[in-house]
Chain A
């Protein structure tokens, strides 16, 4: 049944609206408004053309962002959305700027908003996209250029949960050991690639990015709370017990819906809330 989503990798098909019925420029500052851009025709002799609308922003131009449309020859291009971007950069407009590295979904660099939801460009098939796909950078981020967001703020939030092993006991002679069961507690947390698809797709983070930590960072907070070797659980919980840092999560669950690694930040956040409740009783 298409109404029931079993895996975050399923592309939405049954939504009534493609976007919320709000004005395009609702609450958008003048410098962030997206103007119509230019059309880039396919090179002569293109055989199978698909048009992609791509967000562009050039900091040196002094102009506000715009939406360019590119005609892409799918016959000449690889199967993934990242291949499309590379094809555009190589064949049409070499100034198109985006991050990419591993091209196989383990580095998290090419996270972006494709057809309205966040995913990695390297693991999204062109065949899964709409008739006329849209490509925007991650949402609610300051844009450095084109599809490259400034991640300084979200990484600062990440450092706030001190994502490293903290101990107060004397360091043992060898490694700090875990049982297989203790190790299993970290599953679903360590796989996070910090692409920030979830955080940037979280409405609560849109409204309170300055103080709410967001799903990606809270999933990592959970990962360190769950670590049997970590000895700072109490301090970590103290730092999280805050109306904004943690409790701005209203269980919207866009995070779990969009995670390109199939992780469950929503569940992890509920776990943190439960730990805090248990501690109080």
Chain B
């Protein structure tokens, strides 16, 4: 490899065309990572609730602020994208759904389903909170 190491490495991520295959794989990884951060946020929320009304209300104020709502909405979408992508992976682990057209159909289903579930969750939560 000594002669090889002096040679330039050809470009890869810098030039390879994004496709549904790679984009969904990367977003699955990324949303998994983000879910980890949201898990920490969830613990912060629970700890605040346990700590008393003063810390809890300040966390609640943040959640209900514009930034908080955007973050919560993004988090919901990350959750469903990762969940749907995970189910797609389970089919693959069972050796199913590897035809190219199936790969694309299931990929777009994941995108569409995550969007629908996110919006449905928010509508449901609005309806629940306003009926109370």
Contacts and interface: CB of A to CB of B under 8 A. Distances in A.
B11 A136 contact: yes
Contact of B21 (A4, A55, A252, A267): A252
B24 to A, nearest CB: 9
Interface in B62-111: 89, 92-95, 98-101, 103-105, 108
Interface string B1-38: 10011111111111111111110011000000000000
Nearest to B103: A253
A203 B18 contact: no
- Kindly name the residue among B4, B95, B100, B103 whose own CB sees the greatest number of chain A CB atoms within 10 A: B100
A26 B16 CA distance: 14
Interface residues of B, number: 35
Nearest to A29: B9
B27 to A, nearest CB: 11
A46 interface: no
Nearest to A259: B100
A115 interface: yes
Interface string A91-130: 0000000000000000000000101110000000000000
A113 B95 contact: no
Contact of B95 (A5, A57, A152, A271): A271
Specify the main secondary structure of chain A where it touches its partner.
loop
Interface in B51-69: none
A150 B4 contact: yes
A113 B15 contact: yes
A4 B112 CA distance: 14
Nearest to A253: B21
A251 B93 CA distance: 9
Given A5-B101, A141-B10, A266-B98, A19 B93 contact: no
Contacts of B95: 267, 270-271, 274
B100 A251 contact: no
B92 A270 contact: yes
Contact of A12 (B19, B26, B98, B103): B19
Contact of B25 (A6, A59, A144, A251): A251
A4 B17 contact: no
Nearest to A271: B95
Contacts of A24: 14
Contacts of A17: 18
Contacts of A31: 6, 8
A32 B14 CA distance: 12
A150 B7 contact: yes
B7 A142 contact: yes
Given A4-B104, A28-B9, A251 B15 contact: no
A199 to B, nearest CB: 11
A117 B17 contact: yes
A20 B13 contact: yes
Interface of B: 1, 4-22, 25-26, 89, 92-95, 98-101, 103-105, 108
11 contacts: A3-B104, A28-B14, A32-B11, A134-B15, A140-B9, A140-B12, A142-B4, A203-B13, A203-B22, A252-B25, A257-B21
Given A15-B19, A141-B10, 15 more contacts: A15-B17, A16-B18, A59-B7, A117-B17, A117-B19, A136-B15, A140-B12, A142-B4, A152-B4, A251-B89, A256-B21, A267-B95, A270-B92, A271-B95, A273-B93
